[in-house]
Each structure stands twice: as structure tokens, then as C-alpha cells.
Chain A
Amino acid sequence: MTASTLSAISTAADQDQLGAAAGAGGRRSRKWVRHLPVHVVMAALGLVWVYPLLWALTSSFKTKMDMFGDGPSVLIRSMPQFQNYLDAWTQANFGRYFFNSVVITVLTVVFTVVFTAMAGYALARTHFPGRKVIMVVVAITMFLPRGYTLIPVFDLVYQLYLLNTIWAVVVVQVAGGMIFSTFLFMGYFMSANKELEEAARVDGAGFNRTFLYVMLPTARPMIATVGLFSFISSWNDFIIPLVFTLGRPDLRTIPVGVAALTGGSAGTDWPVLCAASVMALLPIVIVFVVAQRHIIDAFAGAVKG
């Protein structure tokens, strides 16, 4: 699963690669028209697919009355209620959850990238005894259900005096994504340019220098991939922050905090909850728009590898 195989995936679909094979010949300009019924179906299905998100977005600007009044309409009848966002941020404590989520996600991404790049490089470049054993054990554990280990990990975290701290969430999240990311880095470094490394060694660079100044800079696409995976899974995670901050509502992350709001009484302010949900989803949407191709390639590459 090298970067080169990944980059071909999404681009080729848009290209005219199969155009010649399809035998369209000279009638290419009419293809779009021929595709029109398919486009209508796809657009309709696409709209259905984003409808819940659009609904949350429009509802977040409605008044409480409006939301009950016109049902699942996409239209906003009264003035857009920006107040919902303000209320979510302050009264519903979203600001606090946002801060926790940012801190936990940043720490998780940084530690994941640093530790897995190091481990991946070490596994790819040396043949110390036990290397194979480590990899086999680790590969087997990768396919066990996540929830399986939650109970002993909870006890372990408790005994390490980490329970109900941000570090508990970070360390468990880093450990959770570690194996997969290490394999990604190992795969990259195994196929990486060995001549460059050889040259560095001839120039007298040691293991650390070679890694830090020569190999790591070439691994930038893989750093981005691992970073994105780690960002998405940490930002979206529910069960780990839920379990390890059970006793500290002030340490809740966005998914835990917002989900807990819905468990409350009937008096829950829906438009405010919609505003909170929109704010919770927004960072992912922004990252997705910015790095769309890379994210899709990363996911596609993970299964192809």
C-alpha cells in the first residue's frame, strides 16, 4: 500500500481511462445527455443521503416553535436564530466539550504519529530477534473486537491513577490506533528509497539522523494519512472518552457531552441540540473538504493493502 497506488484510485474514476474501451467513439459529447437519467437518480439519492445533515443545519437556525410547527421542512420560517449556537456554546457547555475534544485529539494525533513512525521504521529496517513474533501477535490482536479489552483496560487505567483524566483517554486512544498505523508506516519504510538511506549512512549519519532528517521527511504522505486516520477516529470516538471520564462531566468530549444532553428531560431545547450537533460535525466537514481526496485515498488504500 504505497502512496503511488493510492493516488491512482480516485483520480482514475474521473478520467477518461475506460472511455476508449467503452467504444463511445465520436459520440462523446452526447454521453452526458445519455447519463442524464442516471444523474437524476444519483442526485436524488445523494440528497436523501445528506438530508439528515441538512435538516440538522436548518433546524439549528429555527426557533423551538418552528421546529415543531412545520415538521421536517428544510425551510426556515422565521429569522435565523444564531442565538441557538450561542446557547449551545455557553449554556449547553459545548465550549468546554470543544476544548476537551481539541486537547485530546491533538495529543492523540501527535503521539500516534511520533510513536508509530518510530516503531514502523524500526520494524522495517532491522532484523533483531523476535521481530516476526511481535508482528504475528500484533496482527492477531488487530482482529479482536474493541470492546473485548475495555474492562481490564479500565481497571489498569484506574491502577495507574489515570482514571478520569485527559491522559487516560489519550493513552487508550493512542494504544488503540497504534497497531494499524505502525503497519502503515512499516509498509511505507520497507518500500521507501533505500539508496537515499545508504547515502546518508555513507555521509556518516547515524540511525537517529537518518530517520529524522532523511527518511521521515520523505514519509510526509504517510504522516498525513496516519494523522488523518488518528484525527478522525479520536474526534469521533465515543466509547473511550465515555468510559474513562465517567466520573468527570467536565472532561467530556463533544460526542459524549452532546449525547448526554439528549438523555436529559423532555425540556431539552432541540434547536440548541441541533446547533451543538452542527458544531460537532463541522471540524470533520472542514477537514474533509480540504483533504477530501487524501482521506478517500487513505481509506481506499487501507483495504487494498
Chain B
Amino acid sequence: MTSTTVPGRATRRNASHDRRRVSSHGWKVRWSYIYLLPFMILVALFTIYPIIASIGYSFIKWDGLTAPDGFVGLQNFVQIATDHFFWLSVAHSLWYAAFVVPIQLFIALILALILNRPKFKFTSIYRSLFFLPAVMSPAILAVVFRLLISALGVDWLGDPDVVMWVIIVIGIWQTLGYNLVYFLAGLQTIPYELYEAAEVDGAGWLGRLRHITLPGLKNISVVILLMAILGSLNVFDLVMVLTGGGPYFASSVTNTYIYQLAFGNFYSGAGASSNVEQNVGLASAGSVFYGIMLLGLTLIQFVALARIRKKTAEQNQGAIG
């Protein structure tokens, strides 16, 4: 099929226009399947199959090293549901999210409002300073913090009473940049005619914030909140390298606990959570359990988002009509 125009070809094409269309559609479909092949294979093998297999694994007893010991029914789920250390880890994850998310979103919103102000100079420098840790490897940043904390001459990571707070502060520091950028993106979507109109109506700074900026951020805020919550409930690298969950489970989060159940203590930080016995079935039950929790949370937030979108659409309709 060359692209040069040959006299007479055009008429031939017109004559068989309909037939060509049909066959070219067939071609397209066939090539589409080929184009989709790598995607389909990889998604099926590494995303869809593991989701199903995880559930299967959660019903067997297996230490991950020798041959599986066979089907044990719901035993793994019962065991995980009564495992003190699993719940402790889940509690730490929730604790982490409960502090990181609101504090981080609050700071990010304030910073975004400042950086979005007209005529405010050096915006891109400030934005880069706050965003830089967000694009860096959490594992390497955790190494830096371990060294920094040791150099301060304190044993924060070895103290069960303070270790979670240190991790929370580092967590806020590391991921704040994302939310700053997301909020800035949201602020850019607010039409500035609205501010002009408010100005004419004599609205002050606070009035504009209350009646234009915050309502304008509503939609994107739900997305930001969703991502921040899911992200913080999935914290892994930071905790793994900082403490490995230790000292004695004091900073163990769900992901580090499940990791240690599944893969053992091969890599652990200084104060690792000490000898979690490897049990792949139990780890699978734990991840299925936690996965369902997170999925439920996601669905709730989706419903909330859909409702807010609908409400906003109705309001806009009302304003126009």
C-alpha cells in the first residue's frame, strides 16, 4: 500500500468505497488486537490473575519455602482477624493516614493559595522546593533521615513512643509536594471572571475565598483526598527503610507486616519488628482483608465524588437558567 497518487486509483477507490470501508474496518480490528496484545497479556498476568490468585492463596497453608500444606478453609482469615500484630499494624496505618492526610492537605492548600496569588514572585522556586522530595525515592530519603536522626544524637527511631510521630512528620515532608501541585492545578481551573465579578460586588479577600475559591476547589479536593488517603494507607518504602516496622512492631504498618509475613525479614531496618514467622497463606489473607477495606473506602469516596459532581452540575444549571 504505497501513498503515491496514481491516476485512476481514486476512481477505483470511489467505486468500491463501501466494500473498502468494511474491509478496512476488519483490518483495523485485527491490528487493534495485535496492538493490544502486550497490554492484555501483561495486565492479565500481572494484575488480574494475581487478584484472583491472592484469594486462592488465602485459603491454603504455606510457608512459601516448602510445598504448600493444602487447603485450610477460612483458618487463615480467622487467624489474621485474631492476630494482635495485624490489627496493631492496621491501627498504625490508620493512625499514619489520620495525621498525615489532614495536616498535609491543610499546609498544601495554604501554600497553594499563597503561590497562586497574582504578582507573587519566585513561585516556581518555592513550588520546586516543596515538590522535590515528592519525586525522589522514598527509600533513599529514608536512608538520609536515618543518618540525619542519628547525627542529631537522638534515638527517635528506636523509641516506641516517638517512632510513629517521626514517621508521620517525614511522611508529610515527603509527599506534600504532590498535593501542593494538585491544589495549584485546581486553583487554575477557577475562571478569573468570577473574581472580577466578586470584586465589583465588593467582596473582600475572605469573601472571595469562601464563595469562589473553596467551592471551586470542591471537585478536585475529593480526588486529592482520595489519593492522599489511599497513598498514606499504602505507605511502605519509607517505613520499611526507616524502621522495618520496629522497634518491636511500634511502627509496623499493614504493608510492612504483610511483607514480612510473605517474604520474611530478608531486608529489615535497624529495629526490625523481629522474627515474623513466614506464612504466605496468612499474608494473602491479610492482603485480601486489607485490599477489601481499601476498595470499600475507594467506592465510598467515588460515590461521594459523583454526588458532589451532580450537585455542582445542578447548581451550575440553576445559575445559567
Contact = CB atoms under 8 A, between A and B. Distances in A.
Contacts of B123: 13-14
B43 interface: yes
Interface in A60-96: 67-68, 71-72
Interface string B146-160: 111011110000000
A164 interface: no
A49 interface: yes
Contacts of A281: 136-137, 140-141
A22 B53 contact: no
Given A12-B188, A13-B188, A115 B38 contact: yes
B36 A122 contact: yes
A145 B53 CA distance: 15
Contacts of B224: 303
Contact of B28 (A143, A207, A209, A303): A207
B148 A300 contact: no
Interface in A3-60: 8-10, 12-14, 16-24, 28, 31-32, 35, 38-39, 42-43, 45-46, 49-50, 52-53, 55-56, 59
B236 A239 contact: yes
Interface residues of B, number: 113
B153 to A, nearest CB: 7
B196 interface: yes
A237 B142 CA distance: 13
Given A118-B39, A128-B29, A176-B46, A285 B152 contact: no
Interface string A171-202: 11011101100100000000000000000010
A138 B43 contact: yes
A72 B118 contact: no
A70 to B, nearest CB: 10
B153 A71 contact: yes
Interface of B is mostly: helix
A102 interface: no
B2 interface: yes
A217 interface: no
A116 B195 contact: no
A305 to B, nearest CB: 9
Give me the 4 closest cross-chain CB pairs, A-B, nearest first: A149-B50, A300-B185, A119-B39, A175-B46
Given A141-B48, A153-B50, A259-B142, 4 more contacts: A28-B119, A126-B29, A151-B50, A238-B139
23 contacts: A9-B185, A13-B124, A21-B195, A21-B196, A24-B118, A32-B119, A35-B119, A39-B122, A43-B126, A55-B144, A67-B151, A71-B152, A123-B32, A126-B32, A147-B236, A147-B258, A147-B259, A147-B287, A148-B290, A238-B236, A246-B263, A259-B140, A281-B137
Interface of A: 8-10, 12-14, 16-24, 28, 31-32, 35, 38-39, 42-43, 45-46, 49-50, 52-53, 55-56, 59, 67-68, 71-72, 115-116, 118-119, 121-123, 125-126, 128, 134, 137-138, 141, 143-156, 171-172, 174-176, 178-179, 182, 201, 203-209, 211, 232, 235-239, 242-243, 246, 254-256, 258-263, 270, 273-274, 277, 280-281, 284-285, 288, 292-293, 295-296, 299-301, 303-304
